[in-house]
Amino acid sequence: MLKRFSVTNFKNFKTKTVFELDKPANYEFNSEIVKNSIITKGIIYGINGSGKSNLALAIFDIVSHLTDKEKALKKYQLYLNLDSDKQEADFEYVFEFDGIDVIYRYSKTEVLTLVNESLFIDGKEVIKYDFTRNSGYTCLEGAETLQLSSTLDAETEKISRVKYVKSNAILKDTPVNRAFLSFTTFVDNMLMFYSLTENSYQGLRVGSDRYTQGIVREGKEKDFEKFLRSQGVDYRLVVVEENGVKDLYCKFKKSLVHFGGIASTGTRSLALFYYWYLIMAKASFVYIDEFDAFYHFELSQAIIELIKQLPDTQVFLSTHNTDLISNDILRPDAYFLIRDNEIRSFDKILDKELRRAHNIQKMYKAGAFNE
């Protein structure tokens, strides 16, 4: 899981900004959102322009060069901070797999141009490469003889050496190598939504997919019908096959209508969430930006309760909806405020201890977290 992330000189993050997930408080309620002393579910707040979307882009920058999964490269224009003289952006990820820390650091001048990268496993640097000097090494068992430098062809020279080792080495079965493979698998399975009003995403898979067809393909059309009904949307759903393609339709007395042709914006958004929810259990880390833009409070809360049921997936949401700030939903160490290049959980902002009885929504609205 991801324990900690930091970024410097990327978009609006001029100075080093740290996102800590490995310092949970000692709360006994909503304990299912903490695993191995790492926060697995959380909500991020901040005013417009504070960096909620850019935080997601920063975390998912790793997908652009370590995987062959879906990328949103257009989102990474204006890559470096415009007020900085620094010529590169710096990233650091700290993961933990089976009790072993994996630290990955790299720098870039733009989204597809690495300057350097290094990987530490259990305190030892196992891969290091300087792209300006075309020199580096790996000491992973089974990859010692793998050539990382100038004998490679011009295109291969641009490839992340972590990705190159993953694709070309036959690694021995050791705890360090297992942690390496866990790390690369984790990054392969990261997923970010850009909007729940359209099927736009980054990571986890490749290509586009029609969400209604995806629900049918998973055989979940009746479960989806029950889910909609629980939220006050009463459609009778049926599967219709046309030209060999099965899709989701709504059945009425006089006709069949494609789901997308009759559903409201909010209901289509809900269908898209449900489609991705079916896939989320396979993901390692999920970020949904402005996840509830078209939802009423009860629906937003219901979605969070569903997400809390994913035991092995880290999920973080951004929103402006302060009604979701409640110890009945999450807890103070799972609510984060991003402001002035800082990201801190509510329990770390105040000097006094926040308890379950505190009305943290009321405190937030009153400006208690605005130092």
Q: In the structure, how many helices (H) and strands (E) does the chain have?
A: 12, 19
Residue 279 lies in a domain: no
- Alpha carbon distance 290, 295 (integer Å): 10
Are 296 and 314 members of one domain? yes
Encoding tokens for residue 153?
């062809």
Are 107 and 145 members of one domain? yes
Residue 276 lies in a domain: no
Are 29 and 99 members of one domain? yes
Are 31 and 126 members of one domain? yes
Per-residue pLDDT of the chain (371 residues; tens, 9 = 90+): 999 999 999 999 999 999 999 999 999 999 999 999 999 999 999 998 899 999 999 999 999 999 999 999 999 999 999 999 999 999 999 999 999 999 999 999 999 999 999 999 999 999 999 999 989 999 999 998 888 875 666 566 689 999 999 999 999 999 999 999 999 999 999 999 865 555 678 898 888 778 899 999 999 999 999 999 988 899 999 999 989 999 999 999 889 999 999 998 888 888 888 988 998 989 999 999 888 776 777 888 888 999 999 999 999 999 989 999 999 999 999 999 999 999 999 999 998 899 999 999 999 999 999 86
Q: What is the pLDDT of residue 256?
A: 93
| CA end-to-end distance (rounded Å), the chain | 31
Q: What is the pLDDT of residue 188?
A: 97
Are 25 and 103 members of one domain? yes
Residue 164 lies in a domain: yes
Q: What is the pLDDT of residue 196?
A: 57
CA angle 228, 290, 219 (to 5 degrees): 35
Are 298 and 242 members of one domain? no
Are 70 and 199 members of one domain? yes
Are 71 and 164 members of one domain? yes
Which residue, 226, 242, 269, sits at the end of a domain?
Answer: 269
Q: Which domain holds residue 219?
A: 211-269
Residue 343 lies in a domain: yes
Q: What is the pLDDT of residue 151?
A: 61
Are 231 and 352 members of one domain? no
Q: What is the pLDDT of residue 148?
A: 82
Sheet of 17-20: strands edge to edge? 17-20, 2-8, 89-97, 100-110, 113-121, 124-130, 135-138
Are 260 and 306 members of one domain? no
Q: What is the pLDDT of residue 270?
A: 84
With b for 16 or more beta-carbon neighbours within 10 A and e for fewer, the 174-190 pattern comes to eebbebbebbbebbbbb
Residue 275 lies in a domain: no
Are 171 and 116 members of one domain? yes
Number of separate domains in the chain: 2
Are 219 and 354 members of one domain? no
